């Protein structure tokens, strides 16, 4: 984890953050009033956006990060380079993606090297700080497809006995 100021980040990261902040404005969050925007960069250098969309039945709520990933996949892309998320944190403490979103990002970043850039905003939508994480930092000991392969191999070898 590294926290830096806006004037010290590169142009590509600034663009991702700006896109995340802009899409955040389109969030539909009448129940929580907690707007989130996400902008991701795919392996082919295309940008994909998502914002949270709430439902009164919270199980139907769409998370911003998930929507950005879904938009990427619908376009035919399958690899995330980096993702910027804009949301309100608690002062200096950055808010981070929930466990579901971390797992969804992992599906398209098998190595856990994806940069996750958090633009921590205040209630005036001004950037308080920017924090960089890798997915591995946010999701250590993750559940991934290697467990399924192990299970399937284990089942197959036990059925042959």
Q: Which pLDDT score is estimated for 159?
A: 57
3 state SS of 18: helix
User: Global pTM?
Assistant: 0.89
| Choice among 65, 92, 115, 137 that is catalytic | 65
Could you tell me if 80 and 72 are in contact, meaning their C-beta atoms sit under 8 angstroms apart? yes
> Which residues of the chain are under the pLDDT cut of 50?
none
Distance of alpha carbon 94 from alpha carbon 77, whole angstroms: 29
Q: Which pLDDT score is estimated for 7?
A: 85
pLDDT tens, position by position, 40-56: 999 999 999 999 999 99
Architecture of domain 2-159: 3-Layer(aba) Sandwich (3.40)
Query: Where along the chain do its domains lie?
Result: 2-159
Distance of alpha carbon 107 from alpha carbon 75, whole angstroms: 16
Q: Give catalytic status of residue 65 as yes or no.
A: yes
Please choose, from the candidates 70, 80, 16, the residue with its C-alpha nearest in 3D space to the C-alpha of residue 42: 80
Please choose, from the candidates 55, 7, 16, the residue with its C-alpha nearest in 3D space to the C-alpha of residue 37: 16
Distance of alpha carbon 119 from alpha carbon 85, whole angstroms: 6
Q: Which pLDDT score is estimated for 27?
A: 98
């Amino acid at each position: 984890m590294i926290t830096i100021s806006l004037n010290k980040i590169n142009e590509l990261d600034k663009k991702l953050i700006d896109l995340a902040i802009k899409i955040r404005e389109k969030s539909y969050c009448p129940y929580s009033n907690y707007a989130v925007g996400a902008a991701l960069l795919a392996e082919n250098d295309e940008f994909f956006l998502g914002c949270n969309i709430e439902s009164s039945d919270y199980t139907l709520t769409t998370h911003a990060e998930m929507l950005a990933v879904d938009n990427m996949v619908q376009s035919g892309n399958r690899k995330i380079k980096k993702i910027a998320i804009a949301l309100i944190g608690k002062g200096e403490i950055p808010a981070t993606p929930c466990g579901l979103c971390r797992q969804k990002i992992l599906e398209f970043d098998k190595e856990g090297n994806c940069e996750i850039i958090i633009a921590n905003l205040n209630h005036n939508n001004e950037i308080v700080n920017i924090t960089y994480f890798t997915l591995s930092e946010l999701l250590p000991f993750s559940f991934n497809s290697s467990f399924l392969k192990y299970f399937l191999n284990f089942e197959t070898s036990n059925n042959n006995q």
